[in-house]
């Protein structure tokens, strides 16, 4: 896979005027704000998605997205990734075309048709249960025997701040970080969207051959990928992307949604929420997280969902 027009000159942050109000005073000023712009992702010239994102790592974002959707099995399915248009043209850098590798065709129509035509009936319809069943059928269950100590999880989540340089200046971006079991950082990204940040991080590993059929769940040095940490809430999409990449633990500083909990339970992922300081909530597959002096097991000793803990 090759990348063209890798640098578009688009910035991650800009400045906007404001009026600061406080202590009985008003003062005009300017502040740094995170850039949000649309990215149109095309596959062989056909638009498959438009997402609002922070410019940067667009190729990784596209790879991570296509991988999560099941359109590519790895970077070897992709020939080139290039921004459309020419520098200086309006909107340059906001359209990305992914071309199939020689001898292979990325089947984008399956996703396009699935989004354009939805059959309604009195049965399950478009609901969480069907989404979970379809994903488990496509990806299976994460079977890696990975376990982490609770304090190791907390440490990894705390370190998200180290990979948020733009957030530090604007307060306006989410972050995703993927760690190995030994705590080494494997990939990280910032974006205005939580799911975009995850796609960028997973896409970076995919581009390096660290995830996918050849080395599923292995980091760039052959170290097993263990945990995905996110700076916002854990939604269904976040857990979905972790399941496809075979990441066994997902940890968030905030709350999970009901579908995220259900999907994590079904796919063998330990889902942790409200990971702050030395406290966390463990919602599923409790056997994957070990506390000092306490061995976490599911009721029958199998690798299944453990009981949810109460909110802190």
Angle 258-267/128-139 helices, nearest 10 degrees?
A: 30
Q: Is 36 helix (H, G, I), strand (E, B) or coil?
A: coil
Distance, CA of 204 to CA of 219 (rounded, Å): 11
Measured CA distances, 246 to 82, 202, 213, 228 (Å): 28, 11, 11, 10
CA atoms within 13 A on the CB side of 66: 36
The closest alpha carbon to 218, from 186, 256, 191, belongs to: 186
The phi, psi pair for 220, rounded to 5°, reads -65, -20
Measured CA distances, 206 to 64, 68, 121, 212, 218 (Å): 7, 11, 38, 7, 10
Question: Of 84, 124, 127, 139, which one is the catalytic site residue?
Answer: 124
Which helix H or strand E contains 169, and what residues bound it?
Answer: helix 165-170
The closest alpha carbon to 304, from 141, 128, 130, belongs to: 141
End-to-end CA distance of the chain: 46
Helix, strand and coil content of the chain, in percent to the nearest 5, comes to 30, 30, 40
Q: Residue 124 catalytic?
A: yes
Distance, CA of 3 to CA of 133 (rounded, Å): 35
Residues 6+ apart with CB under 8 A from 91: 85
Show which residues are catalytic.
Answer: 124
């Amino acid at each position: 896979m090759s990348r063209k027009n890798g640098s578009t000159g688009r910035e991650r942050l800009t400045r906007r005027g404001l009026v600061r109000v406080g202590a009985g005073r008003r003062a005009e000023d300017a502040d740094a704000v995170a850039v949000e712009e649309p990215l149109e992702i095309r596959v062989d010239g056909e638009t498959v998605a438009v997402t609002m994102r922070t410019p940067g790592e667009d190729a990784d974002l596209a790879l991570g997205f296509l991988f999560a959707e099941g359109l590519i099995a790895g970077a070897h399915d992709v020939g080139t990734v290039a921004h459309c248009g020419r520098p200086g043209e309006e909107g340059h850098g906001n359209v990305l075309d992914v071309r199939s590798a020689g001898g292979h065709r990325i089947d984008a129509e399956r996703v396009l048709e699935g989004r354009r035509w939805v059959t309604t009936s009195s049965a399950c319809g478009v609901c969480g249960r069907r989404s979970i069943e379809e994903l488990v059928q496509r990806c299976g269950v994460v079977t890696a025997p990975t376990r982490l100590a609770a304090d190791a999880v907390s440490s990894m989540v705390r370190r998200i701040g180290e990979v948020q340089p733009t957030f530090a200046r604007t307060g306006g971006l989410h972050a995703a970080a993927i760690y190995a079991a030994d705590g080494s950082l494997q990939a990280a990204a910032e974006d205005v969207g939580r799911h975009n940040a995850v796609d960028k991080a997973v896409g970076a590993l995919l581009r390096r051959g660290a995830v996918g059929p050849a080395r599923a769940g292995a980091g760039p040095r052959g170290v097993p990928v263990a945990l995905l940490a996110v700076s916002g809430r854990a939604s269904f999409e976040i857990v979905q992307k972790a399941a496809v990449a075979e990441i066994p633990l997902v940890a968030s500083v905030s709350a999970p949604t009901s579908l995220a909990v259900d999907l994590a339970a079904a796919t063998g992922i330990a889902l942790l929420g409200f990971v702050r300081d030395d406290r966390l909530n463990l919602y599923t597959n409790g056997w994957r997280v070990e506390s000092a002096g306490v061995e976490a097991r599911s009721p029958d000793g199998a690798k299944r969902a453990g009981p949810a803990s109460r909110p802190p």
